[in-house]
Structure 1
């Protein structure tokens, strides 16, 4: 990543490369699927978390080049808020194993945003807690479905 404030596209590319390093086959494919699903989620619903100024920028960018506009123009704090949508019930992958990978991917990405100092976990503590709380809730719901008689 460059020394300037990286866009989501750069962040996700670096994160995905680290996640799939030395992984092969189905395991690798599941991680790639989780990342692609996150990108789809952001492009479809990321506008919901933007300020009016950022929304205008996104609209303009989509007029110029619609594909991947959200990820090309927004930053780490926007990614954190988008993760809140990504781990909501309506965006959870239907397959149990894929959903588990998706939740791990979101949790690890949240941690990485903090570790790479791309977000300030104190000023964004509510958003971090919301994402992690949603992940925990989804994992708990998944466990109760698998252990139900």
Structure 2
């Protein structure tokens, strides 16, 4: 499997997802991407192994801006995505939240379909994110 950085993955996924969409939808995708980047740089470390978290600390000592997306790959991204669906990271608007949940689920499926992560090897983590997304969908976008 190729080891693309999270930066390359996010740029490609969100560009492809926004292609041909209406301006309002593309703008919504942009807000979700910005929120995801902020989440990864703020809380993404919590879902890393201790050695990966130490590597992130070292990278941030040299250049703190966008260290997570610059340093890590698809597997690291996969292991953080369920946290992005936590209440503290959901966007405030109902339509934004629904799209955030949908895009997160689609991102996981895209990572698998592009062989950026091996679904059979990481099946528990894939299911954890997809289940979290389904729970959010049933909970009307994450807010009762």
The 2-side partners of 1:137 and 1:23 are apart by 26
- Return structure 1 stretches of 4+ with deviation > 3 angstroms: 143-146
State the match for 2:47 in structure 1: 49
Which of 28, 31, 34 aligns to 1:33? It is 31
Give TM-score scaled by structure 1 length: 0.90
The 1-side partners of 2:65 and 2:28 are apart by 22
Cα 1:87/1:144, change in 2 over 3 Å:
closer
Stretches of structure 1 lacking an aligned partner (at least 5 in a row): none
**Cα pair 2:4 2:74 within 8 Å, conserved:** yes
Q: How many residues align?
A: 144
The 1-side partners of 2:89 and 2:141 are apart by 18
Which of 128, 131, 143 aligns to 1:130? It is 128
- Larger radius of gyration, structure 1 or 2? 1
Stretches of structure 2 lacking an aligned partner (at least 5 in a row): none
User: Residue deviations 1:58-84, cap 9 Å, x none?
Assistant: 111111111110011011111111111
Root-mean-square deviation over aligned CA pairs: 1.7
